[in-house]
Amino acid sequence: GENVEQHPSTLSVQEGDSAVIKCTYSDSASNYFPWYKQELGKRPQLIIDIRSNVGEKKDQRIAVTLNKTAKHFSLHITETQPEDSAVYFCAANTNAGKSTFGDGTTLTVKP
């Protein structure tokens, strides 16, 4: 089955700096890669996603890149703000719609 590894497990940055979270996957059949943000005590929510036929996608301060050959994808957050502090999960989906999640990255943005 699919295996997703996510790094780092914790990340601390100063407000205004950039943050990068990296994930690798094992199943070349995975074709959809969503990223979720989970604030403390709340449900995970989709923040951005990318399909396997796209190399990069951007939405304001958030971007995701995908290297299908190397089987890795990354989340980039620029100009970080304290409200970006949360746990971020990457996931890899196959055609069946089933997601395999990474273990999560706890991002702390220091004001």
Per CB under 8 A, residues contacting another protein are 1, 6, 9, 31-32, 34, 36, 42-46, 49, 51, 89, 93, 95-104
Q: Which residue, 97 or 111, has its beta carbon nearer to another protein? A: 97
Closest CB 95 distance from another protein, rounded Å: 5
- Report residue 59 CA to chain centroid gap: 13
Q: Which residue, 33 or 84, has its beta carbon nearer to another protein? A: 33
Largest Cα separation within the chain, whole Å, is: 42
Closest CB 30 distance from another protein, rounded Å: 11
